[in-house]
A and B are shown apart, each in its own frame.
Chain A
Amino acid sequence: MKDPDLVFKALADASRRKLLDTLHAHDGQTLSELCAHHDMTRQAVTQHLNVLEAAGLVITIWRGREKLHFLNPVPLQAIYDRWIRKFERSRLKAIHDLKRRLEGTHDG
Chain B
Amino acid sequence: MARSSFVYVIYIAATPEQVWHALIDGEFTRQYWGHDNVSDWQPGSGWEHRRADASHALRLVGEVIESRPPHRLAITWAEPKDRAYRDRHSRVMFDIEPVGKMVRLTVTHDNLDADSEMDGNIRRGWPRVLSSLKSLLETGRPLETWAS
Contacts and interface: CB of A to CB of B under 8 A. Distances in A.
A in complex with B: yes
Interface of A: 1-2, 27-28, 56, 59, 61, 70-74, 76-78, 81, 85
A71 B131 CA distance: 16
Contacts of B106: 59
Contacts of A1: 11, 13, 102
B124 to A, nearest CB: 9
A74 B8 contact: yes
Given A1-B102, A27-B4, A81-B143, A59 B127 contact: no
B91 to A, nearest CB: 14
Interchain residue pairs A-B with the least CB separation, the first 7: A77-B127, A70-B7, A77-B131, A73-B127, A59-B7, A74-B10, A1-B11
A53 to B, nearest CB: 10
9 contacts: A1-B11, A27-B5, A27-B7, A61-B7, A73-B8, A73-B123, A73-B127, A74-B8, A74-B131
Contacts of A27: 4-7
A1 B99 CA distance: 9
Nearest to B143: A81
B128 interface: yes
Given A56-B9, A59-B9, A61-B7, A74 B143 contact: no
Contacts of A2: 11
Nearest to A1: B11
Nearest to A24: B123
A78 B8 contact: no
B22 interface: no
A78 B131 contact: yes
Q: Of B7, B123, B130, B144, which is in contact with the most chain A CB atoms at under 10 Å from its CB?
A: B7
A56 B130 CA distance: 14
A74 B5 CA distance: 15
Nearest to B123: A73
Contact of B130 (A59, A71, A74): A74
Interface in B33-92: none
B128 A72 contact: no
Nearest to B108: A61
A52 to B, nearest CB: 13
Contacts of B143: 81
A78 B131 CA distance: 7
Contacts of B144: 85
